[in-house]
Structure 1
Amino acid sequence: MGSRFDITLVANDSAQAEQNIDLVIAEVSRIENLISDWRPDTQISQVNKNAGIAPVRVDPEVFTLTERALQLSRLTNGAFDISFAAMDRIWKFDGSMTEMPKPEAIRKSVEKVGYQHIELDPNQSTIFLKRKGMKIGFGALGEGYAADRCRAMMLAKGINAGIVNGSGDMSAWGKQPDGSDWTIGITNPLHNDTIFAIVPLRQPAVVTSGSYEKFVVFNGKRYAHIINPRTGYPATGLSSVTVFGPSTEKANGFSTSIMVLGKEAGLKLIRQYPEYQYILITDKGNITSSPSLKLKKRRL
């Protein structure tokens, strides 16, 4: 999926662990071969090639994943948008940018983005992108979906503890061998070589979205690498969003959306889902978190 996966399993012996790690790797590869939008022979690539031409029949698994992504797009009013894959990559976060793109270029960069123009037919299991040049992609949900699938598969096989970490989309279950909870360190986004909190994982999923590694600064304002698909401008205001909950896929969708929505609108969204907890850190180092996490109130 273009991302690193780290797999940790607690098993009776190393042979059992290695055998099941191979199964996890095979499952991640299977999902990648269904939903990758850069491999030309996947179902999603076929959907994209037929944008503005014809609906494409896909497997039920691909259809339901697309359906959930479209629901999230509607829920966030496009702060998350499954059709972001059509966005022109005019922002560079490799140090090469010396000035902001022109407003006209920014506007044009999102012309082909718009979840409203995606048509799903549950009877035929087809996806149709109504406008030429549209694309859908699972860069923001695919790793989380794969991590959730692998956790369920391992539990079904009797592996009662482990972690599948898809480039920061983490799905954990069970306990460490000594009986203690798995823990996660939350990076201090203002000093990303340090950790500001260690949190026990009492929920299966945790995902962090942040701008502390990829960003640009123009006129004293920080622009994150996460782009608002509605406007074409990078997200501002938040430097880190961590979401805990039952689903890694959904936690990823929430963390990405909150980065785009900003603190106030993001809190309004996530507080509608009490089974999910959050840690929001602003560009100025102010921390807002779920009361149940019991983090000390402070500023970085």
Structure 2
Amino acid sequence: MGSTFEITVVAANEEIGYINIEEAIAEVERIEALISSWKEDSETSRINRNAGIRPVKVSLELYKLIERAVQISEITDGAFDITYAALDEIWKFDGSMQYPPTAGEIGEVLDKVDYNKVVLNSTERTVFLKEKGMKIGFGAIGKGYASDKVKELMVSKQVKAGMINAGGDITAWGTKATGERWLIGIVNPQSRTKIFSWLPLVESSVAITGSENAFVSFNGKKYTHIIDPKNGYPSIGISKVTVLGKSAELCDALATAVFVMGKERGLALINQLGGTEAIIVDNLDIVHQSQGIMLDK
């Protein structure tokens, strides 16, 4: 999944705690083997290889994940879209890109980015990508899904409390060993280091999408790694989105969607979703928040 997972558990003793952590790590590895588009033998890679050729029968787990991803695409009007992966062929943020893609290059790929071209057959439990060259990827939802599954496993093992840090996205349940609540700090966008507000995480998750660490620059112009699936270009106007809610999977997906949608449309969506909140920092370092967020200023 391209992220480091840090797992904390509250256990009766150190030995049990380490056993729980090993089980959690094994669960992350199992999910990565399922959803990774880099592993040739994964179900996801089989779907991509058969794009435009034939439907692929998949496990119920992956089928349901793709089904939920398509539903999120629908409620975000395509701002979140797992078929964005086709654009990875022309936008590369690993240092190998020598120039930004041309409008013609983007246009050639853009018709392969459309969640409506993902055909799901619930009876046969198959997934079919309508056009050759289409790809799906879980970069904007995979960490959240893995965190939810690890938490679910830990709770089933009677682990009363813990925290999962998936590359900066946090999922927590229960309380610390001291009985204190888990807290996340909101960094002041002007200072970039000082925390100006704390928010409690009570049986909930937080996902952060930002443009600070993954981008390229050409001729003085910065291109963020968060691509708008509608036009094939990097999103502009926002520098960071933080989404809080019960489901890490949904928070992960919505953080990307809101980044693409922009602050007005993004907050309008979040304010319609029960139990979900968002904090947006725009390119002028101004903070905007959804209706249920109260920040100390």
Please tell me whether the aligned partners of residues 186 and 199 of structure 2 are also in contact (alpha carbons under 8 angstroms): yes
Which residue does the alignment assign to 1:139? 139
3-state SS of 2:6 partner:
strand
Counterparts of residues 161-240 of structure 1 (less than 5 Å): 161-189=161-189, 191-216=191-216, 222-240=222-240
Q: Which runs of 5+ in 1 are unaligned?
A: none
Which residue does the alignment assign to 1:83? 83
Which residue does the alignment assign to 1:257? 257
Give per-residue Cα distances to partners, 1:250-297, cap 9 Å, x unaligned. 001110000001011101111111300111111101111234332145
| Matches of 1:284 and 1:196, distance apart in 2 | 17
Counterparts of residues 83-102 of structure 1 (less than 5 Å): 83-93=83-93, 100-102=100-102
Letter in 1 for 2:187: T
Give per-residue Cα distances to partners, 1:110-154, cap 9 Å, x unaligned. 332111111000011100111111111111111111100111111
User: Aligned residues, how many?
Assistant: 297
Which residue does the alignment assign to 1:125? 125
| Matches of 2:98 and 2:197, distance apart in 1 | 35
Q: CA RMSD in A?
A: 2.1
3-state SS of 1:62 partner:
helix
C-alpha distance 94-37 of structure 1, shift in aligned 2 (>3 A): closer
Q: Quick check: 1:294 aligned with 2:288? A: no
Normalised to the residue count of structure 2, the TM-score between the two structures is 0.93
Please tell me whether the aligned partners of residues 280 and 288 of structure 2 are also in contact (alpha carbons under 8 angstroms): yes
| Matches of 1:136 and 1:101, distance apart in 2 | 21
Counterparts of residues 258-273 of structure 1 (less than 5 Å): 258-273=258-273
| Matches of 1:184 and 1:196, distance apart in 2 | 11
Which residue does the alignment assign to 1:19? 19
Please tell me whether the aligned partners of residues 88 and 109 of structure 1 are also in contact (alpha carbons under 8 angstroms): no
C-alpha distance 42-116 of structure 1, shift in aligned 2 (>3 A): same
Q: Which runs of 5+ in 2 are unaligned?
A: none
3-state SS of 1:79 partner:
coil
Letter in 1 for 2:157: K
Once the two structures are aligned, what percentage of the paired residues are identical?
Answer: 47
| Matches of 2:203 and 2:190, distance apart in 1 | 26
C-alpha distance 45-90 of structure 1, shift in aligned 2 (>3 A): closer
Counterparts of residues 24-63 of structure 1 (less than 5 Å): 24-63=24-63
Letter in 2 for 1:7: I
Most deviating of 73-82 and 86-95: 86-95
3-state SS of 1:241 partner:
strand
Normalised to the residue count of structure 1, the TM-score between the two structures is 0.92
Letter in 1 for 2:144: G
C-alpha distance 168-110 of structure 1, shift in aligned 2 (>3 A): farther
